[in-house]
Structure 1
Amino acid sequence: MFKKIRSDRDPRDTVYSELKKEFAPYLDRAKSTASQFAAKNTKAIFWVMVASMLLSVIIILTSHRSPHITLRPHKTVIAKSPVTGGFQQIMATGNAIQEMLALRKMIDSLSEKKQLTSADSARLDTALDSFQKLNHKFNQRK
């Protein structure tokens, strides 16, 4: 069913070595041309590099400023630590899930009864309301 595929290729032949064999003349010519150009124009290359660094500094200093005029009124934002806020949210979600499971267990046990007393129906009604409110909170978070 599963036959071993045998290859009789030379283990020294890799994709890199084959690409190098194929494109070596072009790469050697480009390398020699670039080195000749750099040898002839060293001062020009230096000043182009300096000018590009100065241009990048000018662009950074001028384009990354926040605008002073805002169209919307400022809202006060209370910064929370992301770790603390995330952990508190996880704990609140876990507590809500535990409460939902307890309510579900109570609803299931009350719904299995053949006849409910007035106290049972009141507990079932409040449990269903609480379960519905918790479910609504979860749907709002998504």
Structure 2
Amino acid sequence: MFRKIHSNRDPRDTLYRELKKEFSVYADKGGRFGKQLAGKYPRFLFGLMSVLLIVSAVLAVALRHQIVPPEKAKVKPRTEMLNSGFDLILAAGTALGQTIRLRRQVDSITAKKVLTQADSLTLVRDLDSLQHIRLTLPH
């Protein structure tokens, strides 16, 4: 099962080297074609590049207001923001108290030399609760 697998592959052969060997012919043809095109029509390519930049800028400015969803554009009232902040503080305090209680219980169980089946189940349940608390708290 743990036998060493021997390979006769050359260690210098890499994925990049094999891809380069396979597709370098097409890349060279494309490069030559691009140079010929740029040599024959430099003004056309410069004009096309300029037009595409201008169209991109116009579209970015014209469509900018549609990017933000309307429900996110509305501003929450300050009292709602304060209430949600207090709710987060209260939830964090409750979670902290529960975390401390669960940690004490886990520490007392793990301090025992021999665990019973009930101790094991309680330990698993408490560790799952701690994990759930950690995942539900906002960071």
- Give the TM-score of the pair, scaled to structure 1: 0.51
| Structure 2 Cα separation of the partners of residues 65 and 26 of structure 1 | 43
Pair 1:95 & 2:108 matched: no
Number of equivalent positions: 91
Higher share in helix: 2
Q: Residue 43 of structure 1: CA displacement?
A: 0.6
Q: Which runs of 5+ in 2 are unaligned?
A: 102-139
Q: Which runs of 5+ in 1 are unaligned?
A: 103-142
Instruction: Please provide the CA RMSD for this pair.
Output: 3.4
- What letter matches 1:17 in structure 2? R
Aligned residue number for residue 54 of structure 2: 54
**Alpha carbons of 1:7 and 1:34: their partners in 2 closer, same or farther (altered >3 Å)?**
same
Q: Residue 76 of structure 1: CA displacement?
A: 5.2
Larger radius of gyration: 1
Provide the identity percentage.
30
Q: Relative contact order, CA 8 A, sep 6+: which one is greater?
A: 2
**Secondary structure of the structure 2 residue equivalent to 1:65:** helix
**Secondary structure of the structure 2 residue equivalent to 1:10:** coil
Per-residue CA distance 1:73-93 (angstroms, 9 max, x = gap): x77532859xxx4xx555311
Aligned residue number for residue 36 of structure 2: 36
**Alpha carbons of 1:35 and 1:80: their partners in 2 closer, same or farther (altered >3 Å)?**
farther
- Give the TM-score of the pair, scaled to structure 2: 0.52
Q: Residue 10 of structure 1: CA displacement?
A: 1.1
Aligned residue number for residue 11 of structure 1: 11
Aligned residue number for residue 129 of structure 1: none
